[in-house]
Amino acid sequence: MQLFEKLIEYPEAERLVLENAPKTPVVKLPLFEALGLLLAEDLVANFDSPPFDNSAVDGYAVRAGDTGENVELEVVDEAPAGRPSTKTVGSGEAIKIFTGGVIPDGADAVIMVEDTSGWSGEGSSVITIGKAVPEENNVRRGGEDVRAGQTILEAGVGIGPYETALAASQGYSRLPVHRRPKVVVLSTGTELVEPGSRELSPGEIFDSNSYAIVAQAREAGAEAVRLYAASDEYDVTRAALEEALSDADVVVTSGGVSVGERDLVKAAIEELGVEQVFWGVKFKPGKPLFFGSRGDSRFFGLPGNPVSAMVCFELFVRPALMKMMNRTDHRRPKVRVYFEEDFTNRFGRMHAVRVSLKRTEKGLLATSVGAQGSGLITSLTKADAIAIIGPEAHIKAGEMVEAVVLRDF
């Protein structure tokens, strides 16, 4: 049994994790797969957009100078979207046009169908104009949105629906991004049973951590899969870890990383060539957190207690994953909060207190969600934020402390 050599402080642990979070390679991903990621290079317009002068409405392409109340024009052709007319609009003529249709030669304005009568159907080719319209009326000019050669999206911008639209409008089907890190999640513990597989026997529990961690990793934008839950036998743990490490940017395990006799993860990963960056943080819940690296892969050994695992993920793994995708907003938003009563941290290490938040005249009021045990999953389903207290802090009622916001409140 090995004891923690040296516990480090929470800010130091956070710094070491972020320092050791290498960016994933830039790849060109199909638009939908790039959604939610950051553009890795400037995107330049290939051509003017819209690519041609076109009509903003359904109506008639005309010469503005011909228009006026009760003027009759002869309709000489049609220009629906996608099928330009090859004819020219001459004096006294019009071409029936639809939204997006190419403005024909000779025309300098479009009069909307509502301002005409005698909508030219089969047989009829004469319409009556209701009013005069100026040049450019209802004409969308080519290049009015984007000019060829212009940077339309800058490197670092988040790719959302609107950015996707702009890229697609310029013919891009793929975008360069730092790809999502591949996360492989592995639970350890002989007591663990796959949810839904069977009833629990005495002493068993369902494996919730690997589901939580995959969900958290996906929410952070990573690609995450679960491996199975490995029993607490050295060979099983080692084989599972070897599999996890074989094709992952980040391996996240839960359990088996403390100093108990059955805590085999650390021994196994060291044998597999993972080098320790740190093991043990002055942080509650999550003291046995392990962080290491092997080549470009990173390894997080989270404690088994569900709250410890999820809180450690929030505060250490999530920022790392986001930084790997080059996100600058890799930290959750922090706010200043106060408690209504004095709050003492007696643990001698940073305490992540799960709280609900309420807006008051004095600012954000934090209220502990109740018992803070590291096995109490409901403490997280009730929490809006994690207040960071400590170490050895005595917080007075009304005094401001920092909290990491988990959700809208």
Report the interface residues with Mg ion, using CB under 5 A: 189, 255-256, 304
Can you tell me which residue has the tokens 């960056």? 277
Residue 31 or 377 with smaller CB distance to ligand AMP: 377
Determine contact, residues 296/198, Cβ cutoff 8 Å.
no
213 touches ligand AMP (CB under 6 A):
no
- Nearer to Mg ion by C-beta: 31 or 227? 227
**24 touching ligand AMP, by CB under 6 A:** no
Closest approach, Cβ 375 to Mg ion, in A, equals 12
The long-range contacts involving 369-374, CB below 8 angstroms and separated by at least 24 positions, are 372/285, 373/307, 374/284, 374/285, 374/303, 374/305, 374/306, 374/307, 374/308
Query: How far apart are CB 232 and ligand AMP at their closest, in Å?
Result: 8
- C-alpha neighbours within 13 Å on the C-beta side of residue 246: 7
* Binders in 261-320 for ligand AMP, by CB under 6 A: 303-306
3-state secondary structure of 217: helix
Q: How many residues bind ligand AMP (CB under 6 A)?
A: 18
Among residues 192 and 251, whose Cβ is nearest to ligand AMP?
192
Cα separation, 299 vs 243, whole angstroms: 13
Q: If you write DSSP's letter for every residue of 139-167 in order, what string do you get?
A: EEPTTSSB-TT-EEE-TT-B--HHHHHHH
Show the tokens assigned to 33: 């797969």
Residue 187 binding ligand AMP, by CB under 6 A? yes
Give the three-class secondary structure for 220.
coil
The site partner of 254 among Mg ion, ligand AMP, none (C-beta below 5 to 8 Å per kind) is ligand AMP
Cα–Cα nearest to 230, from 256, 211, 251: 256
Rounded to whole angstroms, the Cα distance separating 4 from 123 reads: 92
Among 24, 120, 209, 297, binds ligand AMP (CB under 6 A): 209
Q: Which is nearer to Mg ion, 304 or 306 (CB)?
A: 304
Q: Which is nearer to ligand AMP, 371 or 397 (CB)?
A: 371
User: 254 CB contacts (<8 Å, ≥6 apart)?
Assistant: 185, 186, 187, 188, 209, 210, 213, 302, 303, 304, 309
Query: DSSP H helical segments within 47-159, as ranges?
Result: none
Q: Which is nearer to ligand AMP, 93 or 232 (CB)?
A: 232
* Residue 104 and residue 53 in contact, taking contact as beta carbons nearer than 8 Å: no
Token pair for residue 336? 């200043």
Query: Judged by CB under 6 A, which stretch of 71-79, 208-216, 273-281, 399-407 contacts ligand AMP?
Result: 208-216
Nearer to ligand AMP, 129 or 251 (CB): 251
Which range, of 118-126, 207-215, 237-245, 348-356, touches ligand AMP by CB under 6 A? Answer: 207-215
Q: Residue 216 interacts with ligand AMP (CB under 6 A)?
A: no
Decide which of Mg ion, ligand AMP, none touches 280; Cβ closer than 5 to 8 Å per partner kind. none
Least distance between ligand AMP and beta carbon 256 (Å): 5
To the nearest whole angstrom, how small is the minimum distance from the Cβ of residue 257 to Mg ion?
Answer: 8
Q: Which residues bind ligand AMP (CB under 6 A)?
A: 187, 189, 191-192, 205, 207-210, 254-256, 258, 260, 303-306
